[in-house]
Structure 1
Amino acid sequence: MSNLERAPEETVCGTAEPGRPVVEPLAGREVVLGGPRGMRVTRTLPTKGRRMVGAWCFLDAYGPEQAVMRVPPHPHTGLQTVSWLVDGEVLHRDSVGSEQLIKPGQLNLMTAGRGIAHSEESAFGRIHGAQLWVALPGAHRHVPPHFEHHPALPVLTLDGGAEATVLMGELGGVASPAVTYSPLVGAELTLEAPVTLPLTPGFEYALLALDGAAEVEGTSFGPGPLIYLGAGRHELTLHARESARLLLLGGVPFEEEIVMWWNFVGRSHQEIVEFRENWMAEGRGFGQVAGFDGPPLPAPALPGTTLKPRGRER
């Protein structure tokens, strides 16, 4: 998915301080993709309260609603896109020749590396899911672009019949086949009763409700805010106020300074300028997306100030 804002703000991330356990609700903001009649999403990463959770640097949750997703070909660099559906179907096309329909419970993972372009579209109907980005560390940010589709993912069975589908990384000894470039985890939790999750103390974590409501350490939450949990935990107990579906995100705090602007993750203003110029020069270096009925998405204008990599700010 693209960031379709016409005047995207600079987002600067990195240099996390040593973590501790917290329970910190972070309100998202509503963004309309594709104009005033486009699909609405709630963006909880990045926010003013927190730029990243581990290497997770972008999180849009959408639906459930009757809508059409239509995102024209657009570029990415320095990140992985993670597509996860609860309801509906979305067709992915990219410039390395992939064409893949994703359905609920399946994972589409696109590694942009040095540069890729892709499009996403759906027919009108009920749609519900999340789009996430993972920042690539410096040692891997120029890897060749590639795409993975995982139609089935491993499941960790927890207390009381609860389950955790492991999208990326590892949870409780259950590992996803998806390729990762830094220590992290992404999992969908389904629960109806209290459950205790095994965690990694060196990871920081966050929870997002996709359906239903849950409670963690006396804080109740439903769809909307991201619940930042900090680090230093060996386990976490959740209580479901009703049948709940949650996303668990975690990872080692990302210590590199990065600049994230529009659909690019880079390390300097000049890199972002070059990425944008190449995309506007008929997608130079990004390749072409075949099969999409429409023109590619033009890049917005750069801000009048210099984009600077800085440490993580709150």
Structure 2
Amino acid sequence: MSNTETHPAELLCGAEAQERPGAPEPRVEVLTPREVPLGGPRAMTVRRTLPQRSRTLIGAWCFADHYGPDDVAGTGGMVVPPHPHTGLQTVSWLFTGEFEHRDSLGTHAFVRPGEVNLMTGGRGISHSEVSTARATVVHGVQLWVALPAEHRDAPRDFQHHVPRPVPLRGSPGGAADGPSADGPSEVGEARVFLGTLAGDTSPVTTFTPLLGAELTLRPHASTTLEIDPAFEHGLLVDLGDVRMAGTPLRRADLGYLAPGHTTLTVANTSGAPARVVLLGGPPFGEQIVMWWNFVGRTHEDIVQAREDWMTGDRFGTIEGYDGDPLPAPELPHTTLKPRGNAH
């Protein structure tokens, strides 16, 4: 997916930007989304929680869009023309619908519910995503992962994986603080598309340690997960009223938990099923500059990537897409000023 904002901000992100001297982090920081139209006359809207001023990274996760459920008849669905990426991996995860993916590696694949597609941009790749005629409703998340400096020019790549459902155990009742006195029951399931959780490990390759999983919980159920204490975690709510480590989250909120915890309790406090996406990774430890669809290290990296997209062949070509590529937004006439997290 492309960042189709006409005036995207340049962001300086990383470990230094996320330090907050003199002010302890809250146990769970709640990041609320902003709505961003994808463009076009009917403009399907996404809810974006990363990046934002208060927090720009969770591990190497640097971008999170949550969209739908959208009726394709009303919105026109997802139509994202060929566009470029540098210095990142894209992670596509659907709840409902189907997209056709084409890229300059020569990949022609489909994005379907419960199946992860991971594309590596490295020095440069271009791709398109279009909802198919079979998709009457589109609903899912689009995520980006920043590549570390030593792999920022990694070759183009595409991986596909269908994770198996793994049972989650916990309390089936209204308790939000762990299993009942009768012992843990099966209360939902996880699908681990990146990393390791609940006894399952994804075979998908990443360049930094990462966690990505869809969790579903039955009404009023809770589960306590073993997590890596070196990781920071984000919990994105798709459906239900959810508590993350006791903190309530609304739909489309992203809850943030700092490193240092060995367990995480997720509770569904509603009378309907809940669904969330759990992200994680060790603090990134590097500063990056993000603008439009590019991740670099300097302002000059971004300027060069934009010029190469508009005039060069760095990003390759896509076969089979009937339409023009997405033009890059105009850069400001003055040097872009980096922005970091609020202190």
- Aligned: 1:176 with 2:202: yes
Q: In the alignment, which residue of structure 2 is the partner of 1:266?
A: 296
* Alignment-mate amino acid for residue 11 of structure 1: L
Output the CA distance in 2 between the equivalents of 1:120 and 1:158: 33
What secondary structure does 2:284 align onto?
A: coil
**Normalised by the size of structure 2, how large is the TM-score?**
0.87
Q: In the alignment, which residue of structure 2 is the partner of 1:280?
A: 310
Contact 2:10 2:338 in 1 (8 A): no
What secondary structure does 2:301 align onto?
A: helix
Shift of 1:55: 0.3
Aligned residues: 312
Shift of 1:27: 1.0
Output the CA distance in 2 between the equivalents of 1:148 and 1:130: 17
What secondary structure does 2:237 align onto?
A: strand
* Alignment-mate amino acid for residue 102 of structure 1: V
Shift of 1:309: 6.0
Q: In the alignment, which residue of structure 1 is the partner of 2:32?
A: 27
Q: For structure 2, which runs of at least 5 residues remain unmatched after alignment?
A: 170-184
Shift of 1:72: 0.3
Q: For structure 1, which runs of at least 5 residues remain unmatched after alignment?
A: none
Output the CA distance in 1 between the equivalents of 2:136 and 2:198: 36
* Alignment-mate amino acid for residue 286 of structure 2: E
Per-residue CA distance 1:96-140 (angstroms, 9 max, x = gap):
100001110001100001100000001362110000000000011
Output the CA distance in 2 between the equivalents of 1:194 and 1:38: 37
189-198 vs 155-164, which moves further: 155-164
- Aligned: 1:65 with 2:37: no
Contact 2:53 2:340 in 1 (8 A): no
Output the CA distance in 2 between the equivalents of 1:253 and 1:305: 32
Match among 85, 100, 118 for residue 109 of structure 2? 100
233-242 vs 245-254, which moves further: 233-242
Percent identity, aligned pairs only, is: 54
**Normalised by the size of structure 1, how large is the TM-score?**
0.94
Give the structure with the larger strand fraction: 1
* Alignment-mate amino acid for residue 264 of structure 1: F
Larger radius of gyration: 2
Match among 27, 48, 56 for residue 43 of structure 1? 48
Divergent runs of 4+, >4 A: 18-21, 308-314
* Alignment-mate amino acid for residue 2 of structure 1: S
Match among 147, 160, 163 for residue 189 of structure 2? 163
- Aligned: 1:5 with 2:5: yes
Shift of 1:247: 0.3
185 and 217 in structure 1: CA distance in 2 versus 1, 3 angstrom threshold: closer
- Aligned: 1:297 with 2:326: yes
Shift of 1:155: 3.9
Shift of 1:304: 3.1
